[in-house]
Structure 1
Amino acid sequence: MEHFIVSARKYRPQNFSTVVGQAHITTTLKNAIRNNQLAHAFLFCGPRGVGKTTCARILAKTINCENLQPDGEACNTCHSCVSFNEGASFNIHELDAASNNSVDDIRTLVEQVRFAPQAGKYKIYIIDEVHMLSSSAFNAFLKTLEEPPSYAIFILATTEKHKILPTILSRCQIFDFKRITIQDTVDHLAEICQKEHIQAEPDALHLVAQKTDGCMRDSLSTLDKIVSFTGGHLTYSNTLEHLNILDYDYFFKVMEAVLKQDVAQAMLIFDEILQKGFEGDNFLNGWAEFLRNLLLCKEDKVQHLVEVSGNLRERYKQLSGHVSPAYLITALHLLNETEINYRLARNKRLHVEMALIKLCFLQQAITLSSDDSGEVVKKKLVPDGSVPQKLRAPFARAESPKAGQPATTQTIAQQEARLSIEVPKTPAGTTPAANAYAAPVASGGMPAANAYAAPAANTPATPAAAPAAATHAAPASTRPIPQPATRPAQPTANAPKLTGLAAMKQAMAATQSTAAAQERIPLTMGALHVYWEEFIDRFRQANKMTVVSNFALAKLGLNVEANEITLTSGNIVQLRFMEEEKLSISEFFKGRFRNHSIIVTFILDEQQAPADLGPIPLSGREQLAKMVEKYPLVKELKDRMNLELDV
């Protein structure tokens, strides 16, 4: 029976030209060899399975080649190349630092460096997984690595460069290997399949490349497994079955049901996925990747980032024409939040199903939050006390105010449809221009969606039903929307759009002017105690009970005329705790009382400390005297044994 050799070893590159996906490194090494500009130490770092050790061996063989080719490759026919290929070269030493990481192993290596090569020009030392060396081993290696003999070259390889001492890094010429792209992996696998007479569909090879995430060694090992599983005939279906990957057809079916707002069909498809043994996080991850591909297919200049086969790319492109960028961006945000909270959910199936239900009605929410031109816009924020605000979208667009009618007659009831993205509190009077993060969308770009929660399924969205809904909801909340006293001039179509620092300055100026116009809250002891308890509760929720206990002992004082709040501490430890939070305490009170002229003062009152500290401790002789007075036999025992008090 013929001995089987795995593909990862059988097709391991033997020269620079056969290395896959690392042209930037192989070209540099070949030019250095041709120009005789070799460094004395190299460091190859990068992910696993991308060719670090392979390139180190090829470099070692090429350096000692007796008949170097014009293109910088080894001849593979001279005595040095043949002995290297047979594993009998005395000039190339390979050390596995994962198992030989002690200082004694490095000292043995340094002792070998002293001897010149018997044949050939260089002695090459390859140290794999060099980050596993101990600190003492690194220090023992420093001097030799910095000033080795002229015939010694060191090649270090590692997957974790950050674990190597900076003194080692500064003495090496560093080469960063990158992950092998999916297309390069597919081309290499197809070449191997042709040599091995294996029938493989391109889609199947794409699955293998995507599964291994840029690691060529894993790709070849996976290929060997699937060949044994399928008998040498790789198809998309049997590769899916073997790799336990969710078929993209499921995502197309779910997308079709979601666009039709068919919740029942979407739930049935998800149930079928669960019955096949897939977990909810597998579905969420694959669904997010699917939506990301749809989003990229909407722009020709980024379609190359969709790493799928040609037929599947066309299918993505056709479907992307039926979905708006706003929907895709908002859906991706929703799925990202769902995936983050998946591990915390107890009922994981319900957690994913709720995301599916939201996605089914997401298109309706996007439609409600867009203007007449179809462009998604940000709604004005309605202040609601100190609680977080939520974006609101009207069921039907309100009619424009008539001539002479003020815009403040709009009520919150006209914006009753709430969406579920919470945003930071915005002071009254802040205009949408103050939102520095809402940058204008460049021509040809993708507008960002700002809402993803779906309205109730049984809520009518037709214009005929809007007046009735507004009339019914008006008694629930008739507070008018606060409008700014002076509205900033809206930018014209030809005016330059503010971005970056200019937009942030404008937003800050609008916020400060609005905050200055707010009515201050009177300084009273009652309000001060309430706000102080609220501040302490922050640390209580963070389980910082030592801070809570020290803050609770502080005595509050108030000087209304000077706008001064005093916090009196009974001891120096309590004062130190309060001084560490001085800035946050000051900002907290200024924000709560809406008064930026408030001064917070800390006072140390040592008279509050307890005066009765207990009796003074007795010395050793005083304790002996009291024991002798109470128990006379103690003195007799001391005299008989001739004991002395050692104090």
Structure 2
Amino acid sequence: MDKFVVSARKYRPQNFSTVVGQAHITTTLKNAIKNNQLAHAFLFCGPRGVGKTTCARILAKTINCENQTKDGEACNVCNSCISFDAGTSLNIHELDAASNNSVDDIRSLVEQVRFAPQAGKYKVYIVDEVHMLSSSAFNAFLKTLEEPPPYAIFILATTEKHKILPTILSRCQIFDFKRITNNDTVEHLQEICDKESIKADKAALHVIAQKSEGCMRDSLSILDKIVSFTNGAVTYTNTLEHLNILDEDYYFKLLDYLQQQDLSSALLMYDEINRKGFEGDMVLDGFSEFLRNLLVSRDAKVAMLLEVAEDFKQKYLQTAQKIPAAFIISALNILNESELNYKQSRNKRLHVELTIIKLSYLQQALELVNNDGVVSKKKLIDGAKTIAFRALPIEKLKPSSVEKHGEQEAQLKQPVNRQPQAEAKLIIEEPSPVIKKSAHDTAPGNTSNATAATAAKPTLGSLSKIRQQIAQQNQNGSNEAVQITEDELYVCWGLFIEKLRNKSNFSAVTNFKAAELKVIDNNTIEIITQGEIHKAFIEVERADLVTHLQQHFNNRLLTYQVLVIEKEDTAVETDIPLTRKQQYLKIIEEYPLVKELKERLKLELD
């Protein structure tokens, strides 16, 4: 029985032409070899499993080949190539910096550099995971890396370029490897399956490529596991089962339930998914990616970003045209918020179910509106169903007639036919004002007014307050407006300041006291403030202030405007104590003989 070799080692590329997905690297290296323009130090950086070490070995093999092809490839038949493939070549030295990261390891490497190759042109030193070297090891490597012998070439490989010292980076030619695309991975896996006589579905290989996330080594390892799991037949169903991936058909069905607002079916589907062992965060993440693919599929320009199996592409394109963009964008927002809060929630299942409930009723909650090129959200309040009330024809009551009010209440008790096209409205009756009882009204023989007053008394507590407010407003509206004068205005202003003081809003009291008032006309008042902060305190109380002014002057049209006039700061003169010299000058100004006395006695000021 032959010893099993994993596909990642068995099918490791031996030439530049067989390297997958790194054409920009291999072309540059082949041209450098053909033109004899090789640098003395290379730095290969990029994600794991994309071919950094492989390209380093191919480069070392090619530059020592005795019969290079015209394209700059190794011949694979000369003694150098054969010894290299067998692992017995003395011209290549590999160092794992993860386990040999000390200064002594680098010094032993530098000692080996002094010896010229016995066969071949170059000695190649490959240092893998070079970012694991210590700072001392880096410093010990600097001089040799900057000025190596003409036969020595260093190839450094790393997955974390940012951890390497800038002095090392400046001495190397840097090659950035990129992740391998899904299409390149699928093609390479299909070639291996053909060589190994493995039956593999294209959709299954695409799932493997997505799971590997651009790492060829991972994709080959996954393929080996699935081949062992399925006994040589790689199908879409077996691949999903082995990789623990949720089938996209579930997401299509879930989307249909959400569009139909079939919450029961959606929750039952999530229960089925949960019983299969899929975690809630996996469902949220998978559904987010599914909606992202739908959003991409809506526009033909960006449909190329759709990375799904060919069998599902047409289904995505058809479904994307039926789903509005407003639903997709809003659903993505809800799912993103749910994923962020998933770890903090105690009941994971309830958290996911609440998200499904939100998505079920999302399309009747809001929509996207395009206003002059600006996309904004609009709540669908107008389309919401209202409670049906009976339309009642009610005439406005006159405050002077109590009998008319009694007739109006009698009309309220009679049923009225509702028009089929009339919009339902809730109409609140305006009550008549309270009539004060006089001595004549309370006499035993006078019962008509007492009966009318009893009929006008409200019966419901909450409705009676509304009726009293409306009655008070109507009563105020019936009186004539009070003439606005500055004296009366300041009286009204003081009453409002007292209200603020009763609320313990002392900062507003201070600012209201500092304001100046001016009457513009019968409907406009001007408030003069000393700055924007002063104005802000007054604007905060705008609603209460307008109501207070209108009620005081009995004028519903009364309003005010705030004017800011910043006054110049007047510095307050304060008594500053004089220094000794200033005191002396002031004294001799009044008494000149003091100066003469000071000079004769030769006194000095402290």
For normalisation by structure 2, the TM-score amounts to 0.65
Provide the residue aligned with 2:179 in structure 1.
Answer: 179
Contact (CA 8 Å) 1:200, 1:235: kept in 2 or not? yes
Deviation at residue 277 of structure 1 after TM alignment: 0.2
What is the rounded CA distance, in whole Å, between the counterparts of 1:597 and 1:526 in structure 2? 28
Instruction: Report the CA distance between 1:47 and its aligned residue.
Output: 0.5
1:301 offset after TM fit, Å?
Answer: 1.6
Structure 1 residues 110, 302: closer, same or farther in 2, change over 3 A? same
Q: Alpha-carbon deviation of 1:225? A: 0.5
Q: Which residue of 2 aligns with 1:154?
A: 154
Q: Which residue of the partner structure matches residue 98 of structure 1? A: 98
Which residue does 2:381 correspond to in 1? 394
Instruction: Note closer, same or farther for the CA distance 1:559–1:196 as it changes in structure 2 (3 Å cut).
Output: same
Q: For the Cα contact (< 8 Å) 1:123–1:152, is it kept in 2?
A: yes
Structure 1 residues 163 and 591: CA distance shift in structure 2, 3 A: farther
Moved >2 Å (runs of 4+): 375-379, 391-397, 463-472, 522-530, 557-562, 587-599
Question: Matches of 1:343 and 1:316 in 2, distance apart?
Answer: 31
Q: Secondary structure at the match of 2:60?
A: helix
Q: CA deviation at 1:394?
A: 2.5
For 2:257, the equivalent position in structure 1 comes to: 257
Change in Cα spacing, 1:97 to 1:321, as seen in structure 2 (3 Å) is same
Deviation at 1:365, TM superposition (A): 2.3
What amino acid maps onto 2:257 in structure 1? Answer: A
CA distance in 1, matches of 2:567, 2:172: 59
Residue matched to 2:170: 170
Identity within the alignment, %: 65
Shift of the 377–195 alpha-carbon distance from structure 1 to 2, 3 Å rule, reads: closer
Partner of 2:38: 38
**1:192 alignment partner AA:** I
Name the CA shift for 1:471/1:302 in 2 (closer, same or farther; >3 Å). farther
Q: Secondary structure at the match of 2:83?
A: helix
Do the aligned partners of residues 592 and 103 (structure 1) sit closer, same or farther apart at CA in structure 2, a change above 3 Å counting?
Answer: farther
Contact kept? 2:130, 2:156, Cα under 8 Å: yes
Q: Note the C-alpha offset of 1:396.
A: 3.9
- Displacement of 1:560 in angstroms is 9.0
Tell me the distance in 2 between the aligned counterparts of 1:357 and 1:289: 19
**2:197 alignment partner in structure 1:** 197
Check whether the contact 1:590–1:596 (CA below 8 A) recurs between aligned residues. Answer: no
Q: 1:103 to 1:596 in 2, by over 3 A?
A: farther
CA drift of 1:119 comes to 1.3
Deviations 1:406-447 (A, max 9, x none): xxxxxxxxxxxxxxxxxxxxxxxxxxxxxxxxxxxxxxxxxx
The one-letter code matched in structure 2 to 1:326 is: A
Aligned partner letter, 2:174: I
Q: Aligned partner of 1:208: which letter?
A: I
Write out per-residue CA displacement over residues 37-96 of structure 1, whole angstroms, 9 at most, x where no aligned residue. 111110000000000000010011111111111001011111111111111111110000
Structure 2 residue 234 is the aligned partner of structure 1 residue 247: no
Q: Deviations over 1:302-321 (max 9, x none)?
A: 11211112220001111111
Structure-to-structure mapping, 1:139-150, within 5 angstroms: 139-150=139-150
Q: How far does the alpha carbon of each residue in 1:97-150 deviate from its partner, in whole angstroms, 9 at most, with x for none? A: 000000010011111111111111111100000000000000000111111111
5+ residue gaps, structure 2 = 385-419, 430-462, 470-498, 516-531, 540-563, 569-606
Q: String of CA shifts for 1:572-611, please: whole Å, max 9, x gaps.
A: xxxxxxxxxxxxxxx9999778799899xxxxxxxxxxxx
Q: Contact 1:396–1:466 (CA<8 Å) still a contact in 2?
A: no
- Amino acid of the residue matched to residue 28 of structure 1? T
- Alignment root-mean-square deviation, CA: 3.6
Q: Note the alpha carbon deviations across 1:418-477, whole angstroms, 9 max, x for none.
A: xxxxxxxxxxxxxxxxxxxxxxxxxxxxxxxxxxxxxxxxxxxxx9897448999x999x
Aligned to 1:43, what secondary structure does the other structure show?
strand
Aligned to 1:4: 4
356-365 vs 589-598, which moves further: 589-598
| Letter of the structure 1 residue corresponding to residue 155 of structure 2 | I
Give the Cα separation in 1 of the matches to 2:428 and 2:284: 41
Q: Is the 8 A contact 1:589 1:598 kept in 2?
A: no
Shift of 1:393: 4.0
Q: Are the structure 2 counterparts of residues 140 and 265 from structure 1 closer, same or farther at C-alpha, using a change threshold of 3 Å?
A: same
Distance in 2, matches of 1:283 and 1:598, equals 65
Q: Deviations over 1:589-638 (max 9, x none)?
A: 99778799899xxxxxxxxxxxxxxxxxxxxxxxxxxxxxxxxxxxxxxx
Q: How far apart in 1 are the matches of 2:275 and 2:12?
A: 41
| Structure 1 residue 336: Cα displacement | 0.8
Distance 2:146 2:219 in 1: 38
Alpha-carbon distance between aligned partners in 1 of 2:17 and 2:565, rounded to the nearest angstrom: 69
Correspondences of 1:618-633 after superposition (within 5 Å): none
Distance 1:268 1:52 in 2: 48
CA 1:112/1:314 → structure 2, altered by over 3 Å: closer, same or farther? same
Q: Does 1:287 align with 2:287?
A: yes
Kindly tell me: are residues 527 and 19 of structure 1, through their superposed partners in 2, closer, same or farther at Cα, counting changes over 3 Å?
farther
Give the equivalent residue in structure 2 for 1:47: 47
Letter in 2 for 1:105: D
CA distance in structure 2 between the aligned counterparts of 1:345 and 1:54, rounded to whole angstroms: 46
Q: What whole-Å deviation, never above 9, does each CA across 1:368-405 have from its counterpart, x for those lacking one?
A: x659x9x99647xxxxxxxxxxx7543249xxxxxxxx
- How many angstroms does 1:351 deviate by? 1.2
Q: Residue 319 of structure 1 corresponds to which residue in structure 2?
A: 319
Closer/same/farther in 2, CA of residues 170 and 598 from structure 1, 3 Å limit: farther
The separation in 1 between residues aligned to 2:318 and 2:76, in whole angstroms, is 51
Question: 1:396–1:40: structure 2 CA closer, same or farther, 3 Å change rule?
Answer: same
1:321 match: secondary structure? helix
SS at match of 2:87: coil
Query: Secondary structure in 2 aligned to 1:208?
Result: helix
CA 1:353/1:46 → structure 2, altered by over 3 Å: closer, same or farther?
Answer: same
Secondary structure of the 1:127 match is strand
The one-letter amino acid paired with 2:149 is P
Query: Residue 366 of structure 2 contacts residue 380 of structure 2 at CA under 8 Å; is this kept in 1?
Result: no
Unaligned runs of 5+ in 1: 380-390, 398-462, 479-521, 531-556, 563-586, 600-647
What amino acid is the match of 1:256? D
> What residue is the counterpart of 1:485 in the other structure?
none
Structure 1 residues 466 and 315, CA gap change in structure 2 (3 angstroms): farther
Residue equivalent to 1:340: 340
State the SS of the aligned residue for 2:364.
Answer: helix
Q: Which amino acid letter does the alignment assign opposite residue 277 of structure 2?
A: G
Q: Is this contact kept in 2: 1:590–1:597, CA < 8 A?
A: no
Helix, strand or coil at the partner of 1:301: coil
Confirm whether residue 72 of structure 1 aligns to residue 103 of structure 2.
no
8 Å CA contact 2:511, 2:534 repeated in 1: no
Q: Take 1:42 and 1:333, find their aligned partners in 2: how far apart are those partners? A: 45
Are positions 1:138 and 2:130 aligned together?
no
Letter in 2 for 1:172: C
- Tell me the SS of whatever aligns to 2:277: coil
Structure 1 residues 348 and 87: CA distance shift in structure 2, 3 A: same
For 1:220, what is the secondary structure of its paired residue? helix
Which residue identity does 1:78 align to in structure 2? C
- State the AA in 1 paired with 2:365: A
Q: 1:364 to 1:62 in 2, by over 3 A?
A: same
Whether contact under 8 Å (1:204, 1:235) holds in the other structure is yes
Which residue of structure 2 lines up, in the alignment, with residue 123 of structure 1?
A: 123
Amino acid aligned to 2:120: G
C-alpha spacing 1:590/1:310, structure 2 compared with 1 (3 Å): farther
Deviation at residue 246 of structure 1 after TM alignment: 0.5
8 A Cα contact 2:33 2:72, kept in partner: yes
Aligned partner of residue 207 in structure 2, secondary structure: helix
Matched residue, 1:536: none
Q: In the alignment, what sits opposite 1:209?
A: 209
- 5 Å-filtered alignment, 1:398-437, equals none
After TM superposition, the structure 1 = structure 2 runs for residues 228-239 of structure 1, keeping only pairs within 5 Å, are: 228-239=228-239
Return the TM-score normalized by structure 1. 0.61
Q: State how far apart, in whole Å, the 1-side matches of 2:108 and 2:427 are.
A: 86
Q: Taking structure 1 as reference, are residues 523 and 44 closer, same or farther at Cα in structure 2, changes over 3 Å only? A: farther
- Larger-Rg structure: 2
| C-alpha distance in structure 1 between counterparts of 2:283 and 2:318, whole Å | 22
